Structure 1
C-alpha cells in the first residue's frame, strides 16, 4: 500500500486540474481512472471552446494534460476504484483490483454516468445505431436520417456534428424549448437539415440484427409516430456517479453530492469537484476551475 497526500478519483478535466493544482502545492498525488483520461470530453473531437490554447480536441486535451501530470510526478492508476473507506488512523483507503492505497485527502471527480431511458431497443442496439457519441458514430448516418434525444448543451453539440454527416437530424425535446445555451442552439437551428420535435419523447427503437437501428417510435402531442432513421443519439443527461461514497452523505435534488464551500463533503478529508457535485452547471472550463479551487482548499 502506498501513502499519498491526495488521491483524485476520476481523470475528467476537473480531476486532472485538481491533481495538477495539488501537485503544484507540493502535495504527493495519485489519480485513478478506469477508462481514458479526459472523461466525457474524450468523446468530443472538436471542443468549442477549448479551455486551453494548445488543442481543440477532447481526446488530445485529456491525453496531454494527463501526460503532463505524470511527467510532474503524479502517480496514475488505470483501474476502477472498487471501494473507498475511512481509516482509523485518519484519511482514506482506496481499494483497486491490484491493491489498496491510503491518502489524507480524497477528491471525488467521478462526474456523471449517462442516464438510460429504458425504452425498448435501447440496450439491444447499443453500438449498432444507438450511441452517445456523434464523433464516433456520425459516419453511420452519412446521407441518412438521425435522431438526437435531449435538449441540453450536449445534445446540441452532438447535433451540430451530426448535421455535417446526416441527411436530416431531428432533435427530440421533452419540453417546448431547448435547455441548451443560446450560443449552441442558434447555429444548430440555422442548419437547413436540423429540425426540432417539441414536447415529445422516445418510445421505442426498432431495427434488425443485420442492419442495426432502422427507426424509432416517437410519442408526440398528436400521438405515436414511427420515424425511419439510421441512428438514435441519446443525450438526455446523466446521474452523478456517487457509488463510492456512503449513502448517508447528503444528495441534492439532482442526485449530486451536496458540498460545502470549497468542495468539502460531510466527512473529514473527503471532497468533491466537477459534475459529481450537486448544482454544478458549468462547462469544461468551469470544471477545471472547480478542480483547482478544491485543491487549493485542502488542509
Structure 2
C-alpha cells in the first residue's frame, strides 16, 4: 500500500470536526481538517449560545467557535480551506479529491459535513438570521420570555417545538400551509389544548420585517390575501437537510433523508476506518454539545482503528 498523506482526514470544521481535530492533534495523530469556508458551520449563524456548559453567562456563536479553534490549534491541528470535489472511502487508502484537482489520501476519515435548515427564501430571512429568525427552539427559546412569536410548520418537530416555546413565550402562533397538521395525534391534542398556542391555517410567510431584529411577518393566505402578524421572533421548523452532496452515498448507509447511519461508535457500516459525527448523522437531536461529543467519540474510534493497522 502506498504511504498515505495523513493518518486521518476530517471533513468539516464545525463543532464535531473541531473536537475530533483537537483530540487527534493532542493524540499526535497526523491529521488534516478540511473546511470549505470558515470553521464553525451553523454555529456562526447563532447570535448567542446560552446552553453550552462552562459558559454560565452565555457566549456568542462566533466566540464559542473561536475558542474551539484556538484550543485545537494549541495542539497543532493542521487545517486546509478547500472544497472537496469527491471521495472514495473504500479500501485501505481513503481518497479525498479537492476542487483544485489535488488528491489527498488517509488511512481513516471522519465525515463532519453537517446539515442545514430548510429555508423559505423570503425577504428578511437571511438578513435577520440570529436576530429573531431561528431554526432551533431548544437553542433560542429562552430568549423570548413573555414575547409573542411565530412558528412555521405543521410536522412533529414544529408542533413539539411550539409546545416547548410556550414555556417562555407569552403567545405562540403556528402558521401552516394546510388546514390540518401533519404531527402525530398526541402532539396535536397537546397543542390544541394549550392556551398559549393559536393557529393560522392555509397560509405561508411571505416576508419578514425588522431593522435590528424581527418586528413582524407578512402572511400570504391561500386565497391570495395578505396580513401582517407582529412578532419578535419566528421559528422556521420545516426540517433540515444533510450536506451530503460530495459524499459517495453509494458507499454509505443513509436514512430516507440522506443522513448517515452509524453504529454507536460513529463508525460507518461496512467501511473500516470511516466515521461520521455531528449533524450529518441520522439522529433525533442536533445540538452543539452532542456534535462535539460525537466528534470526540469518532476520533477515539478512528485512533483505535489506526492502532490496529500494521506498521
1:110 deviation in Å? 0.9
Pair 1:179 & 2:179 matched: no
Pair 1:68 & 2:71 matched: yes
Structure 1 pair 163–244 and aligned structure 2 pair: CA distance change class (3 A): same
Instruction: Measure, in 1, the Cα distance between the counterparts of 2:14 and 2:55.
Output: 18
Could you say what secondary structure the match of 1:63 adopts? Answer: helix
| TM-score after normalising by structure 2 | 0.71
1:239 deviation in Å? 1.0
Instruction: Measure, in 2, the Cα distance between the counterparts of 1:261 and 1:9.
Output: 20
Provide the residue aligned with 1:270 in structure 2: 274
Provide the residue aligned with 1:261 in structure 2: 264
- 1:2-81 correspondence runs (5 A): 3-53=5-55, 56-81=59-84
1:282 deviation in Å? 4.3
Contact 1:170 1:197 (8 Å CA) reproduced: no
Can you list the C-alpha shifts for 1:103-143, whole angstroms capped at 9, x where unaligned? 111111111122245xxxx3xx4xx41238543x44xxxxx
Provide the residue aligned with 2:94 in structure 1: 91
Contact 2:266 2:276 (8 Å CA) reproduced: yes
Structure 1 pair 29–47 and aligned structure 2 pair: CA distance change class (3 A): same
Structure 1 pair 185–88 and aligned structure 2 pair: CA distance change class (3 A): closer
- 1:143-158 correspondence runs (5 A): 154-155=136-137, 157-158=139-140
Provide the residue aligned with 2:226 in structure 1: 226
104-113 vs 192-201, which moves further? 192-201
Instruction: Measure, in 2, the Cα distance between the counterparts of 1:129 and 1:271.
Output: 37
Provide the residue aligned with 1:188 in structure 2: 168
Provide the residue aligned with 2:191 in structure 1: none
Provide the residue aligned with 1:129 in structure 2: 124
Instruction: Measure, in 2, the Cα distance between the counterparts of 1:98 and 1:52.
Output: 42
Instruction: Measure, in 2, the Cα distance between the counterparts of 1:21 and 1:58.
Output: 21
Q: Which runs of 5+ in 1 are unaligned?
A: 139-147
Instruction: Measure, in 2, the Cα distance between the counterparts of 1:76 and 1:193.
Output: 44
Instruction: Measure, in 1, the Cα distance between the counterparts of 2:41 and 2:7.
Output: 23
Contact 1:214 1:229 (8 Å CA) reproduced: yes
Structure 1 residue corresponding to 2:108, chosen from 105, 113, 123 = 105
1:257 deviation in Å? 0.9
Provide the residue aligned with 1:143 in structure 2: none
Contact 1:163 1:193 (8 Å CA) reproduced: no
Contact 1:132 1:233 (8 Å CA) reproduced: no
Can you list the C-alpha shifts for 1:224-246, whole angstroms capped at 9, x where unaligned? 76332589663433112222222
| TM-score after normalising by structure 1 | 0.73
Contact 1:252 1:279 (8 Å CA) reproduced: no
Instruction: Measure, in 2, the Cα distance between the counterparts of 1:43 and 1:187.
Output: 24
Structure 1 residue corresponding to 2:285, chosen from 274, 281, 294 = 281
1:275 deviation in Å? 1.6
Contact 2:149 2:172 (8 Å CA) reproduced: no
Instruction: Measure, in 1, the Cα distance between the counterparts of 2:266 and 2:204.
Output: 39
Provide the residue aligned with 1:291 in structure 2: 295
Structure 1 pair 160–89 and aligned structure 2 pair: CA distance change class (3 A): closer
Instruction: Measure, in 2, the Cα distance between the counterparts of 1:12 and 1:172.
Output: 26
Can you list the C-alpha shifts for 1:184-240, whole angstroms capped at 9, x where unaligned? 5244324699964448465351599xxxx9722146xxx876332589663433112
Pair 1:246 & 2:271 matched: no
Contact 2:278 2:295 (8 Å CA) reproduced: yes
